[in-house]
Structures are given as C-alpha cells and as structure tokens.
Structure 1
Amino acid sequence: MKKISNVIIILLCFTVFIHNLFYAIPLIGNNIYEVRAVYAKADDNLPLISDGGSVDYMSYIPAMKCSEEVKEALSVSNPEISVDAKAAVLVDAEDGKVLYHKNALEPIFPASTAKLLTALVVLDWCKTSEMVKVGKEVSMIPYDSSRAGLRAGDKLKVYNLMEAMLLPSGNDAAYALAVYTGRKSLKDNKADEMAAIREFTRLMNDKARRLGAENSCFISPDGYDAIGQYSTAYDMAKIGLKAIKSETITKIAKERTATIKMVNGRALPLWNTNALINKDSMWYDSHVIGLKTGTTGLAGRCLISAARTDSGLVLSVIMNSTSEGRWRDSLKLIKYGRKVMSANK
C-alpha cells in the first residue's frame, strides 16, 4: 500500500511539472537590444529581463528630471534614520509633504509595486462589477512570476481580479486585467493580447504623467523587470498617494486573506504578501492598511505602505531593500511619520 501511495505521489508531481512546463516556461535565448531576456509567449515580445547580470539596463534609462517643484519638495532636513533600502520616501498623505527621503530621484525598478498603477488605470476604465473571461494571456507571463492561480476560461469580476493581483501579487491577474482594459481602450474586444497589453501600458504611462510621476516608464502591467522600465521612489510615492484615495484599492490591500469564486464554482484562496498586516507576523503593525509589495532581481525587495496616524495617513516607499529590511525600513519610517504628524496636530 505504501509503495502504491508513493507511486501516486510521484505521478501527481510529474503531472504538475508537465503542466507548469507547458504553461509557464518562457522563451529563452531571443535577442532584443543584444541582451538575454525572458519573453512573454506572444508573437510580439515584451523586453522582459531574465538575467540582470548580462544586461546593461542602465544604458536605456535617461537622466532623471528635477523640477523646481520637486527640488522644493525634497528640501526637507532628514532625520537620522538608517534604512537598508537604496531609495526611500516618507510622505504626509494628507498634504503630500515629504518628511524623509533617500535617493528619491535615483532610478529604481518598481517590481510589483507597479500594480498600484495598474489598479488605478483599471478603475479609470472599468466598473468592479464587470465580468471578465480570462484568456491565454495568463500563460504569457515569465516562468518565475508570482501567480494567483488563474486559468484560461475562468470568469470572474474585475474586483476579484484586482484581489488576485494585489493580494498574492498575481502577474496572471495583472495580464488579464491589462488585456481586458486594453481592449476597451482600443474599442476592440477581439484585439490581439499583446496589442491590448501595449495599449494598457500606454494608459499606465499617461496616468503616471498625470499624477506627476515624471521620471517613470512602465512597460509591463505587472512590474516585471524590463528593458527601459524604471521609476523613482518619489514617483512611486505620487502613485501611492493616489492609490490610498481609492476605497477599492485600500479595501483590498488591507485584507489578509480572501477567497474568490469563478462563475463555474471553482474557488481560489488568496493570501496577502504584506507581512505588516499579518497578525501572525513579527512585523505586524495594527496601524498599517497596505499597500503593495514588490520583488524582482533588479528591484530587490520593495514595499509601499500606508498607515494611520492621529491626524491622518502617512505613506512610506521602500525600494530595493533586503528581505527583512523592507519590513524594518517601513516600520522605522512609519513610526517617525506618526510621531511628526502627531506633534503637528
């Protein structure tokens, strides 16, 4: 009986391996910009970076702009706070005043914190009650992407797709939302998946510029590293400030777990990747209400956090930190922000 059980387990593992091999393995070895990259499974590939060590990605990033308005915003005296992050910003979310910054205008890679911008664009174009049929775009994401577990043919609401994108950081959900929204913008519900994604990223960049994020360029809807994709901690703070004004985003971002159901009855459990809102985590802080984690090879560990204070909200942006550093850095900045805002009440 024990031998039979072992055989069954081996067969199940083999089946899962073959399934993932078919749906998830990227196409390696293509050359765009003369670099080795992972590409989406599509005829027209996105320049997604698989091997950061062989990519001169900085040569594709322009010089960062610094307007007089930004200079003034960053002219604050920094407190003596040490963070692991290579770039960070702390903002009073009530008036947008910068309370702390470190390399705020240095180019960084947004990773999945870009999904806050994706969510904002989706909400500009879609009602959360709209029903979406997931297509082959969920098999276009790179092999090492974070996934919610969506399948082609699933039918679910925009709101549930946003949960799948923001909680477990599902790149599959980000692509599904991008294709659905991109087709709406193109006014063509049969538009090719990659054409719809490219249209969606155009909308992302338009939205970023309207929010004052002048030193950003978004190429992938999920934030996966890509040639020519970049942002700054300051720009991500601008995006984060808009995100916390969305009841939909903040409602989802502070959920620890959720279970979404497809039209066919299939249930999909979701867990939030943000340790700051997990009561079982050593990093838990009851004042934190979100917002989004991010991790890639080039971006390092990132976290955009919002937390309550006695006089409103404070927003912390941590970019390119360490595994534990992003939680520790965020809590340091949030603690300082709460202190300052309480003193100024």
Structure 2
Amino acid sequence: MPEPTLAAAVEVVLLDLDGTVYAGGRPVPGAAPAVAACREAGVDVRFVTNNASLPPEDVAEHLGRVDVPARPDEVRTSSQAGALLVREACGEGARVLAVGGPGVAGALTDAGLVPVTSADDAPVAVLQGFGPRVGWAELTEAAYAVRAGALWVATNTDATLPRERGPAIGNGSLVAAVRNATGAVPRVAGKPEAPLLLAAAEGRPALVVGDRLDTDVAGGHAAGLPTLWVSTGVDVAATVVAAPPEHRPTHLGADLGALLEPPAAVDRDEDGPAVTWASGGARVRVEDDVLTAGDGGTPLELLRALCAAAWERADAGRPVDVPAEVLGRLAPLDAR
C-alpha cells in the first residue's frame, strides 16, 4: 500500500500566500494544480495570511485572478485572529480603535466589536494592522489610546512586505513606531505567534506551509503543528541549512507539489568516526568535523541531507562548516 502523501496525512493544509501560492500578481508555478489536487483528495485548504489590510473577500478574489479559486470562508487573515483576541479579552460590543486597511475594521465588525477611528472615542483596545495609507495621524491616535490604557493587539510584526520592487515597509515597522512612542508591547495575533494558525486549524490535524522560516515555520512551531517549507519565496536554501531549532521545518519541498508526495526520508549511517546522511541520490558525510558531499542527487535531495547533517551537529554542540561549493549546488532551488 503506498505511503500517504503529506496532504493526505492531515485534515487541513494551512497555506501562506505571498511567496507560496502567488508572488504579487503572478501565480507561483505548480500552486494551482496542487491546491486542486488537495481538494479532490478531500483535504481542506485554508489560505492563511499575515496581510491584515484586505478583507477575506478581496483575498479570495485575488486568488481567483492567479488561477486558484477560493471562497472567502477559506481565507484566514491576521485581522480576523486579532479581532478574536480582542473579543476574548474585552467582550462583544467593545469599542476598538482600528488602525490599518479595510480588513482591520471589517474583522472587528464581523467579530461583534465596534471599530472607532479616534482615541477620543474611548476605545478599550487598539487593533493595529497594515494599511498602505496608514500614517502619522493614525499612529498617533494609536499611541494616545495605548497610553490611556487600551489593550494593544498587533495583527503581525513583519518588518517588511514583499513587493516586485523589493521589500517594502511592513506592519512591524509601523508597530515599532507606536512601541517607541509608548514603551508598550502589543499582543500579536499573526505568524510567528500561534493564534492565527490555531484559529485556521479549528482543532483539526493540520500542516503549515510557507516560504518564510521566521513566520510560517516559526508559527507552526508555536502552534505545535508540522511544517512544510517551499523554496518559492523569501528564504533561500542555505538559510534553511543554518536555521536554529525554532525555524527548522518538518518537511522540505521545491513548491506546493510536495504536498502530493509522501514524506521524504533521510537515512543515517555510522561507519566508525564517520557519519553519512542520504536522501535519494544525495550523500553527505562528516568525518573529523569536515563535511563533504557526493556528486549525486537533486538540489532538493542534497538540501535534505545537508539539513539532517547540519542540524544534528549543531544540536550536539559540534557545528560544521558547509563548503561554499556545496551550498552553491542548492542554487537551482533559489532560482524558482
């Protein structure tokens, strides 16, 4: 009997968006057929995003434009998770200062809360999310409310946003302005914290999928969920090899097609003082604290073997240097 695929081993896959399903206005190759195959296999799909500026309806519409049909109820945003945190702390009907794009105020309304726009409206909480038009006036209102004792919840703290021209200022940079002005520290709803992912999973066995180690993978760790890193976005393969424990994914894939494959095994073999890790045709060997790699295997197989070796050695307090020429063989993954 064939081994279950990564997707078939869970009830729901939690997919990051930018860098995983699409890149700006372009679809990521292989994403649409992988999502369709998950649905055909009876696995639920949730699109989970730290981007708080847009309501789920707009996110679903954008997904349709990149050939991934989606319903609004399949989308989970950090604004929604933040609104739930506020409601749990303050109760339905609470007045909340909404800072960010229309997705922030919409999430508050949907959660039974009352969004307001000024600290003079006596809000009991502030929900701060990204919005391209957020400026000094909105940030100052947030600072006034936080200083007055309002609960402060940030949808996410991503310092930058991926854009076609390069990294742009993200919500974390705007949150830093309010923090600098008040000395307060917000509660955070989005990745890498657990609330957004736990809300999206709804108590079911889930797999977190994304391209960023410090948000998607770290968020999976915080939520106690397995993770799949894909090489289609921000983090390059060499960064994965050097990742600290909290940023290490459970599984490695080139793209979302990895969801349709069984988990890849890495075999470990000891021969006296030497240890070899093997994945497919790739072989990585460490002897006398020197790492070498054989010529075989695909870049992804080599990455799996390198991660197994480097992580084991780092955890044992005996890290090894990976030669630049070996890391260079991972470059085809980064060019995707």
TM-score range, shorter chain: under 0.3
Higher RCO by CA contacts (8 Å cutoff, separation 6 or greater): 1
In the superposition, the TM-score normalised over structure 2's length comes to: 0.26
In the superposition, the TM-score normalised over structure 1's length comes to: 0.26
